[in-house]
Amino acid sequence: MIHIKDYRIWGDHNLIRLLAALLAFTFFASTAQAVDRHAGYYYPEPIYQEVYKARAKGLKTANRKTRVAFVTSITQQNMKREFSPEAAIFAKGDNAEKLIIVGLVDGRLDTIYRSRAIFANMTAAARTLPIFQELGVEDVFTFFDLAALMGFKQITITNGRNFTHQVILK
């Protein structure tokens, strides 16, 4: 396991912009836990849940503000495209520790396999980041590790109708 105490090569704002641009380019979440107050409001109750044991610890500089800035930047990138966004992404929870991705197009993000494919695309984009390459983890870390670095605890992906997959980051 790699422990990252404080990684400041470009500064938080440049890292957030780079991450958001890469993830927006590629497309733009079973454990016992407290009741999910967002289920039934932003997405249906999860059909699938899994636990991902992250290989990296969160950055010391990761906080609510940086997570909100991250999703805001992704949203801004998606809104600049010539076509309508295929998904909405946002952070919820007291500390914005829950990353939520909601499909906006019928017939997409409606199976566990399509959700995993989206996460695979996000992993491919994350692996091109200089932070992964400089740490020598570009062939090991996934998008889930990137989310853990930023302090997210849960990722939920849904078609917004009848399918929800949730990943708990440990």
Task: Say if 6 falls within a structural domain.
Answer: no
Amino acid 103 reads G
Instruction: Look at residue 129 and tell me if it is in a domain.
Output: yes
Give Cα separations from 122 to 42, 60, 125, 128 (angstroms).
Answer: 22, 23, 5, 10
Q: Give the C-alpha separation, 87 to 69, whole Å.
A: 17
* 158, pLDDT greater than 70: yes
pLDDT at 134: 85
Q: Answer left, alpha or beta for residue 107, where phi above 0 means left and psi between -120 and 50 means alpha.
A: left
pLDDT for res 90:
95
pLDDT digits (tens, 9 = 90+) for 33-52: 457 888 988 899 999 999 99
Distance of alpha carbon 76 from alpha carbon 103, whole angstroms: 17
pLDDT of residue 78: 86
Which pTM does this prediction carry?
0.79
Q: Which two tokens stand for residue 157?
A: 């992906």
Domain extent, residue 28, equals 12-32+40-169
Q: How many domains does the chain have?
A: 1
